[in-house]
């Protein structure tokens, strides 16, 4: 998959990576829309230990896979979610990981853009 990595200098590099696998309690979302927040650009600039990462935390798309113990979602569900800050596999990619408890269903009649 393609993934955008934000560097300390806030340069963005697109790289090829493996599609992540959800752990127990997590969902894998095929990203349709990724939001961007000020912290997505400030964390790289002001974190001395920063080595570049995909920190997109706002996700909307479709469930691609679920981890063990996930009961509220199934493949194909239209969802939005919040990626856990400062962890791998954020929304600046074709697929992202979210915890089940931060994921919610989006009505089919609701557009991703609206």
Tell me the per-residue pLDDT of 18-33, one tens digit each, with 9 for 90 and over: 999 999 999 999 999 9
Closest CA to 83 of 95, 73, 74: 95
80 versus 46: the higher-pLDDT residue is 80
State percent of the chain over pLDDT 70.
Answer: 98
Of the candidates 74, 88, 67, 76, the one whose C-alpha atom is nearest the C-alpha of residue 25 is 67
pLDDT of 114 higher than 70:
no
Secondary structure (3-state) at 75? coil
Give pTM, 2 decimals: 0.93
Exposure class string for 43-55: b at 16+ Cβ within 10 A, else e: bbeeeeebeebbb
């Amino acid at each position: 998959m393609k993934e955008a990595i934000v560097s300390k200098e806030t340069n963005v590099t697109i790289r090829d990576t493996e599609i992540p696998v959800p752990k127990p309690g997590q969902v894998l979302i095929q990203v349709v829309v990724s939001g961007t927040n000020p912290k997505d650009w400030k964390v790289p600039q002001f974190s001395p230990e920063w080595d570049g990462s995909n920190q997109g935390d706002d996700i909307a798309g479709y469930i691609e896979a679920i981890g063990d113990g996930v009961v509220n979602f199934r493949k194909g569900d239209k969802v939005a979610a919040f990626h856990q800050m400062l962890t791998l596999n954020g929304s600046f990619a074709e697929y992202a990981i979210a915890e089940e408890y931060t994921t919610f269903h989006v009505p089919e009649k609701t557009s991703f853009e609206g």
